[in-house]
């Protein structure tokens, strides 16, 4: 497994493991069931055996239980892996999640995460979403203090507005930004990637397979259970899929040419964008994990990438990437410092 550097300093595997799906976002919470919990631990252990060193969690996932699952799985090799988790976006089952990045809340959150993760330090600590009520300088300054105290190593932001990112970076250097990015959602190429390149910040791409869509296993007749987050995603509605399936057709074509799978082509395309981009596909199944990790063996020439980009650009993706309430929390700007 090749490695890459985020922010020029944090070295991680080119493909990490997004652990959110292990806590039920795409169906019933798996880690609430003993047998399933052990299977999730097996997936994590296999990822480590295959060279994955980067694992992504958040206090929101579960909530709380995802960090505990990760801790149990990684405890024997804690010093050999990089763990990322997030603060500032929390909720209880059945309730609307709330944003709270007040300094006192961040300090309480880091103590909770350290305890649940069974660790003395968090390698990468993200603000999960920008809090419209808290100046980003206060957030970054609080994380700076946590870094000085040895409780956190690196600071990150997830889905920030670009002006907010610049302000945060001026207060405390940002190592990584976590945004959705894939051949299905290429909007970051317009302004996010140039800004990150200018500032020397790495990108951690979540949902790099479009919630499973880019694997080719979802079609126009797919019906997600109501417990599955994807049942509320506009771009995965039956109507939107009529148009969006053109991207899957494109990936299948290149998969045949490369003797790979559509998922591997999609991940390899993503890694080809910049050397400081890392992808964190999530899965709960060992065969899918093995398939995803095989993407690092898929390569393209400059000419092939041009062909893929040209064909993908001709597909006008239908439907938002998130439900309206979730979309409203992305790319927000923090208020000015008082």
Active-site residue list: 61
Helices (H), 274-336: 286-293, 302-313, 324-327
The residues with which 11 forms a beta bridge, in sequence order, are 5
Six token digits for residue 267: 């991940």
DSSP for residue 15: B
Six token digits for residue 119: 């660790």
Cβ pair 191, 162 in contact under 8 A: yes
- What residue ranges in 74-131 does DSSP mark as E strands? 82-87, 89-90, 98-99, 122-127
DSSP for residue 336: P
Backbone angles phi, psi at 252, to 5 degrees: -65, -40
Six token digits for residue 278: 């890392």
Tokens 């959602």 appear where? 185
The Cα 176–Cα 7 span in angstroms is 6
- Chain-centroid distance of CA 304 in Å reads 27
How buried is 301 (Cβ within 10 angstroms: 0-12 exposed, 13-18 middle, 19+ buried)? exposed
């Amino acid at each position: 497994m090749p490695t890459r550097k985020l922010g020029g300093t944090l070295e991680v595997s080119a493909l990490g493991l997004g652990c959110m799906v292990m806590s039920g976002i795409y169906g019933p919470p798996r880690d609430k069931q003993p047998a399933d919990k052990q299977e999730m631990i097996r997936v994590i252990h296999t990822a480590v055996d295959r060279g994955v060193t980067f694992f992504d969690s958040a206090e929101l996932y579960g909530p709380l239980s995802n960090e505990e699952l990760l801790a149990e799985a990684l405890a024997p090799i804690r010093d050999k892996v990089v763990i990322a988790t997030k603060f500032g976006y929390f909720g209880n089952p059945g309730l609307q999640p709330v944003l709270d990045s007040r300094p006192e809340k961040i300090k309480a959150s880091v103590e909770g995460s350290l305890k649940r993760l069974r660790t003395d330090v968090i390698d990468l600590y993200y603000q999960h979403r920008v809090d419209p009520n808290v100046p980003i300088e206060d957030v970054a300054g609080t994380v700076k203090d946590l870094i000085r105290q040895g409780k956190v190593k690196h600071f990150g932001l997830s889905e920030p507005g670009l002006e907010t990112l610049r302000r945060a970076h001026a207060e405390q250097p940002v190592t990584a930004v976590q945004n959705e990015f894939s051949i299905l959602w290429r909007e970051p190429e317009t302004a996010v990637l140039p800004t990150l390149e200018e500032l020397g910040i790495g990108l951690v791409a979540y949902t790099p397979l479009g919630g499973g869509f880019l694997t080719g296993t979802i079609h126009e007749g797919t019906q997600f259970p109501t417990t599955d987050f994807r049942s509320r995603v506009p771009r995965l509605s039956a109507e939107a899929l009529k148009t969006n399936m053109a991207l899957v057709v494109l990936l299948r074509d290149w998969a045949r040419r490369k003797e790979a799978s559509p998922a591997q082509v999609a991940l390899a395309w993503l890694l080809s964008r910049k050397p400081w981009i890392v992808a964190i596909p999530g899965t709960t199944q060992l065969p899918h994990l093995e398939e995803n990790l095989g993407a690092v063996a898929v390569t393209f020439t400059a000419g092939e990438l041009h062909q893929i980009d040209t064909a993908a650009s001709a597909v006008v993706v239908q439907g938002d990437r998130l439900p309206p309430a979730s979309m409203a929390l992305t790319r927000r700007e923090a208020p000015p410092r008082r």
